Structure 1
Amino acid sequence: MPVADIAPVDTPDFFARPDGLRLAYRQHRGTGPTILFLPGYMSDMEGSKAVALHNWAAQQGRPLLRLDYVGCGASDGRFEDGTLHSWRDDVLLLLDKLIQGPVILVGSSMGGWLALLVALARPARVQALVGIAAAPDFTDWGFTDADKALLATEGRIVEPTPYSDQPYVTTHAFWESGQASRLLSNPIAIDCPVRLLQGQEDADVPWQVATRLAGRLRSSDVQTLLIKDGDHRLSRDADIALLIRTVASLADIVP
């Protein structure tokens, strides 16, 4: 499903948090549920999946909002000051202030974890959820004992990543907020339709996380789509086409 490029305006819009830091966002209005895209860790709203989904939504006349968490992308603030809790609250702020009616949450990697937390916080607003290599509880299963010891003694971990020229920085405050937001050990009280897209060649999120998450969700309408040769990004043309088909099918059934 090719999607023609629709060039966004050069400067995003901004919304100020109560502390004065500005959240950057791009919004397209339309009819139906609003698609709310949540980027991954150290990512932003200009990634290929977010842009392709925005272009498709604009062509279809569907509303969409994508954002940069504080400390990420074009938003104000320092990345190292962010935590899972503060970024969840960034999403909730824009959801409450800029969106009317139901939303379809689309979260990539850490954004998938945030999508689950947002769905739990706003069950009446979230009508469907799509996780792309969703990574709930990654502060638990994604860290070795040595990592945790380094966080406890140094307060941060700095490590290279294939996804950016800048190294990944993980702070003890972020890790603590993640540990306080773990979901996979208990039933997850989310009842809306959920679709989980997961590559089986993902080097960062084991595909078994998706099946474990599916089993924990209370919803009876949960589908896990395993892409046998898919990596963590799931940003190939075929992957993005699958994402768009998935979102479109959910948008059509949401009242």
Structure 2
Amino acid sequence: MGLHRMGAPEPQFITVGSGARARKIAYLAQPAAREGGPGLLWLTGLKSDMVSTKAEALAAWTAARGLGFTRFDYSGHGRSEGRFEDATISDWLEESAAVLALTRGAQVLVGSSTGAHVALLLLRRLIATAPEEARRVPGLVLIAPAWDLTELMWSQLPSEARREIVELGQWIRPSPYDPAGYPITKRFIDDGRRHLLKDSPFDPGRPVLVLQGAEDLDVPIAHARALASALPGDWVRITEIADGEHRLSRPQDLVALYGLIGELI
């Protein structure tokens, strides 16, 4: 699904990084109805893009309420530059911080799957390095949070896949969403291990509201429940959907999502 389809808005671009690492990141910014009004920053899932079902639904929901809505494609995704196999969690974290800096007013971070992990890393970074920016984030809403993504991936890999990653540098992961599958590189796994929440827990200091399907095969419900152990301070609250799967993009799932966001706006 791409932004070039009929009637789709054209993105703007911001350059992130410098020298050989510079890349153009595509984003869409829907301003709040009033100057400096509150909004959402949407962080997509792995191999998704900023015009996915949930992103488009949130664009309509926020517009109807006069809320800002900012979304972007990670490098190696959608309309942004770069190859997927060259990108790392560090890159996506840097890109998320750069796009957040384009916004004004309070911004709820809403992350799906991999985006939930990036949202948590972004908040941890802001608290440590940019407390003024952190104060603009009243809370997080996380959908099927794949926190500590690379360790979650590694734990789910068959032994031959692990061996290929270590010995050959990458393995092509089959995907029900992409017939070509996608490459998981040793560089991606190694970089992700520099960003583990279990190794550096932090007090988020604001609500972290989780929406999780009990039938999710990609992010098991036990993994979502364990997030509270990495975030001291009793800030995590999980809403579990008994028949929910990983995508959580059915109408009833979206209603539950809007309810959580509404608590923070």
Structures share fold, TM-score greater than 0.5: yes
**Cα offset, 1:173, TM superposition:** 1.1
The whole-number CA distance in structure 2 between the counterparts of 1:59 and 1:92 is 26
Corresponding residue for 2:29?
A: 27
Q: In the alignment, does 2:79 pair up with 1:80?
A: no
Q: 1:221 aligns with which of 220, 235, 238?
A: 235
> Is this contact kept in 1: 2:146–2:152, CA < 8 A?
no
Question: Counterpart amino acid of 2:126?
Answer: R
- TM-score, normalised with respect to structure 1: 0.90
SS state of the match for residue 142, structure 1?
helix
CA apart distance, 1:163:
1.6
Superposition pairs for residues 1-255 of structure 1, below 5 Å? 9-19=8-18, 20-30=22-32, 31=34, 32-96=37-101, 98-123=102-127, 124=134, 125-143=136-154, 144=157, 145-185=159-199, 187-251=201-265
Distance 2:186 2:56 in 1: 32
Amino acid at match of 2:29: Q
Structure 2: give runs of 5+ residues left out of the alignment: 1-5, 128-133
Separation in 2, partners of 1:250, 1:168: 35
Structure 2 Cα separation of the partners of residues 151 and 188 of structure 1: 30
**Corresponding letter in the other structure for 1:182:** L
Question: Structure 1 counterpart of 2:28, which letter?
Answer: R
Give structure 1 stretches of 5+ with no counterpart. 1-6
- Which residue identity does 1:100 align to in structure 2? R
Residue by residue over 1:115-162, the C-alpha shift from the partner in whole angstroms, topping out at 9 and shown as x without a partner, is 000010113232210110000123213323443322111111102211
Q: Per-residue deviation at 1:18?
A: 3.7
What amino acid sits opposite 2:44 in the alignment? P
Deviation at 1:9, TM superposition (A): 4.3
**More moved, 76-85 vs 117-126:** 117-126
The 1:126–1:219 alpha-carbon spacing in structure 2 relative to 1, beyond 3 Å, is: farther
SS class of match (1:176): helix
Q: Counterpart of 1:192 in 2: which secondary structure?
A: coil
Farther off after superposition, 128-137 or 31-40: 31-40
- 1: CA distance, partners of 2:196 / 2:23: 27
Alpha-carbon distance in 2 for matches of 1:132, 1:109: 6
Alignment size in residue pairs:
244
SS in 1 for 2:175: coil
Q: Distance in 2 between matches of 1:138 and 1:95?
A: 21
Aligned position for 2:3? none
Alpha-carbon displacement from aligned partner over 1:223-250 (angstroms, at most 9, x marks no partner): 1011111001011111011111111121
Percent of matched pairs sharing the same residue: 37
CA deviations 1:200-240 (Å, max 9, x no partner) are 10011110111110233124332101111100101111101
Alpha-carbon RMSD? 1.7
CA distance in 1, matches of 2:50, 2:247: 14
1:161-219 superposed Cα distances (whole Å, 9 cap, x missing partner)? 11223312111111111111111355332111110111110011110111110233124
Partners of 2:188 and 2:182 in 1: how far apart? 12
* Separation in 2, partners of 1:192, 1:147: 38
CA contact (8 A) 1:130 1:194 kept: yes
How has the CA–CA distance of structure 1 residues 247 and 127 changed in structure 2, closer, same or farther, with 3 Å as cutoff?
A: same
Which residue type is aligned with residue 111 of structure 1? G
